[in-house]
Amino acid sequence: MPETPTSARKSNLAPLLDGRRRVVIESVFPEVDGGRFAIKRVVGETVRVEADVFSDGHEVLHCMLLHRRQGDRAWLETPMEELGNDRYTATFVVGEQGVYEYTLTAWIEPYATWARGLGRKVEVGQDVSLDLVAGADLVAAAAERATGVDAGALSTLANRLRSEEPIAVPVELALSEETASLVGTYPDREHATSYERELRVVVDRERARFSNWYELFPRSAAEEPGRHGTFADVERRLPYVAQLGFDVLYLPPIHPVGRTMRKGRNNALVPEPEDVGSPWAIGAEEGGHTAIHPDLGTLEDFRRLVAAAERRGIEVALDLAFQCSPDHPWVSEHPEWFKHRPDGSVQYAENPPKRYEDIYPFDFESEAWWELWQALLGIVRYWIEQGVRIFRVDNPHTKPFAFWEWLIGEVKREFEEVIFLSEAFTRPKVMARLAKLGFTQSYTYFAWRNTKHELIEYFNELARGRQREFFRPNVWPNTPDILTEYVQHGGRPAFVTRLVLAATLAASYGIYGPAFELCENRPREPGSEEYLDSEKYQLRHWDLARPDSLSELVARINAIRRENRALQSDWSLVFHHTDNEQLLAYSKSDERSNVVLCVVNLDPYHRQSGFVDVSLAHLGIGEGPFQVQDLLGGGSFLWQGPRNYVELDPGVLPAHVFAVRQRVRSERDFDYFS
């Protein structure tokens, strides 16, 4: 870099270092909050970067996208392509887990600018003899920068441009693609502009993007009614979970449950002696967040469960609920981590006038916040040591953002493969911030998006909005806290509809079972989203063999998800027009090799029919008929053109999940399908 005059350095223009740096780089995308946060990808995905790049004048520019793994010194460079309107683009692939960095650099190409001018002058018959000498000088300068064979080739080239041959010869040489390429290989980057920021990509493993979650309460997993379930019971449940096609088994907190202020069945304030309390009231004399509820088994049992699940391709996910029951050992060991009331008692959780007296929140404003942070990180580290790599984080929005950013950063620096799911059902900006600061996946508003308009608006935002760069949705039709009116009233057909929507609209989804597949939909009271006899406060016994169970349908939809890469990512989602407000149509595709088109009847009560107007371009369909094969209900149809008739009966099956294929056109096809 040439020296900058002192007075320039002292002048008003801080960003100025070199007055000859003429190229400007701005409006880089993706870039989250001016580079404050990273974007997210999974291994093997592509990052497509765009930027506005221009200089004064009418010069030919060369723009490079730079990327590297964090920690590497050398950048890998990719030339960027011009899109028009001064916009450039290039892509890079993130091949490994961890953090990548990317930035841009651009410079003026005097030779290319010169050659373009030469071409135009030659076209109109101007004398270019002097131009050729100027071009030769540029080539000679490139020769100075070149090494090896190319240095010689460029010197020769420079001499030939200066030669006395008939002018058409050097002109042709100057304008040839080989010359452009050879000279362009040795650019003068002394005054190149580097984009002022290095942006980051957090690269996760594929499960961060495509995951199938099943939540169950281990204590309800006993085969015989009334007995407290154990890890061994859960282990015996694994074949069932595997058969259903899930790859993440999420367990609510497995720790000792507090006794003080324990909640009874249906959230009763005064429990019966046999009541088991809420697993989220963590900690008792047996231990806290690193202890295991004695009735569930031992650490050994837990590790065996994790290993057994792994053999079936299932990962066990734990709940990180950073709060304590009044009996948690830390309440007495670390009173400084809790707020105290004027009478000396510890402040329980409250959202006035609601009180949660079985829960003590941590005081993140404690003078001892740093020790608290480390202790909480210690909990995560402990379970990672036991083989856990996925955490569902309970109510992250009630702990400081800075804490999560630090904790997730610390964990992922050491264990890149760890996945954190944010359970924040709260205001949109808070949810977005949690995703930005590092949560791998986020719960969504899906459960409350039921109409066609709501679903289209919300999933367009999730799949196309700018926040998709960091917010990975994980959609759940039900959870232990969420029993929506839609399934309360719509019953079994509503469960089926919500299952199909979740499993085909989103690459990551989950159900809370066996409540879901057994269509559990009795609310604690009218207007409540709480279950009657909720497992949160009592043991339940589920009859998995019930003939009306949705287990086979769940298994089928998960098999479809496994077999169709189109359903394993979110961004390709496109909605198609239908002429019926109860019919929702959409498709997803995997670079066109796999295209899935869904049509869902949103009305759980009535048969609905209508015409679907598909965008053939989005389906990758050209002229002529194409086959849609119903992967869910079976049957194939030969469709022709964009407009086709559909009829769906919620009593039978409220959805088509079509694989779309352009057929080789032949009369036989018509015979066969029509």
What is the residue-wise DSSP string for 570-591? Answer: STT-EEEEESSTTEEEEEEEET
CA dihedral defined by 241, 246, 247, 252, rounded to 10 degrees? -70
Residues facing 320 on adjacent strands: 393
Stretch that binds a copy of itself, among 54-62, 210-218, 555-563, 635-643 (CB under 8 A): 54-62
Query: Residue 140 CB, nearest distance to a copy of itself (Å)?
Result: 11
- Spell out the residues 6+ positions from residue 271 whose beta carbon is closer than 8 angstroms to its own: 262, 263, 264, 265, 277
Within 8 A by CB and 6+ apart from 605, the residues are 490, 493, 650
**Cα angle vertex 190, ends 186, 195, to 5°?**
105
CB of 241 to a copy of itself, least distance (A): 34
Catalytic positions: 394, 423
Closest distance of CB 110 from a copy of itself, Å: 9
Sequence-distant (6+) residues with CB within 8 A of 644 are 611, 612, 614, 637
H/E/C letters for each residue in 346-396?
ECCEEECCEEECCCEECCCCCCCHHHHHHHHHHHHHHHHHCCCCEEEEECH
DSSP annotation of 2 reads P
Q: State the DSSP string of 482-527.
A: B--HHHHHHHHHHHHHHHHHHHHH-SEEEEETTTTTTT---BSSTT
- Binding residues for a copy of itself restricted to 380-409, rule: CB under 8 A: 397-403, 405-406, 409
DSSP label of 75: P
Q: Which residues from 402-461 bind a copy of itself, rule CB under 8 A?
A: 402-403, 405-406, 409-410, 413, 427-430, 433
Q: Which residues pair with 431 in a beta bridge?
A: none
Token readout for 180 is 């452009």
Token digits of residue 583:
């019919």
Site string for a copy of itself, 566-605 (x = CB under 8 A): ----------------------------------------
**Shorter beta-carbon distance to a copy of itself: residue 19 or 313:** 19
**First CA to last CA distance, the chain:** 72
Distance in Å, CB of 151 to a copy of itself, minimum: 22
Piece of 51-59, 223-231, 258-266, 628-636 that binds a copy of itself (CB under 8 A): 51-59
Question: Smallest gap, in angstroms, from Cβ of residue 134 to a copy of itself?
Answer: 5
Contact residue for a copy of itself among 11, 185, 267, 528 (CB under 8 A)? 11
In the bound state with a copy of itself, the residue whose beta carbon lies nearer, of 38 and 496, is 38
177 forms part of the interface with a copy of itself (CB under 8 A): no
Select from 195, 206, 196, 197 the least CA-distant residue to 94: 206
Instruction: Mark the segment that binds a copy of itself (CB under 8 A) among 15-23, 179-187, 274-282, 310-318.
Output: 15-23
Site for a copy of itself in 310-349 (CB under 8 A): 341-343
Q: Candidates 27-35, 42-50, 529-537, 644-652 — which segment interacts with a copy of itself by CB under 8 A?
A: 27-35
Q: Is residue 351 at the binding interface for a copy of itself, with CB under 8 A as the rule?
A: yes
Shortest distance (Å) from residue 513 CB to a copy of itself: 31
Residues 67-86 that bind a copy of itself (CB under 8 A): 85-86
Q: Which of 10, 74, 370, 593 binds a copy of itself (CB under 8 A)?
A: 370
Name the residues that contact a copy of itself, by CB under 8 A: 5, 7-8, 11-13, 15-16, 19-22, 24, 26-27, 33-34, 36, 52, 54-58, 85-86, 116-118, 120-121, 123-124, 126, 130, 133-134, 137, 191, 341-343, 350-353, 364-365, 369-370, 373, 397-403, 405-406, 409-410, 413, 427-430, 433
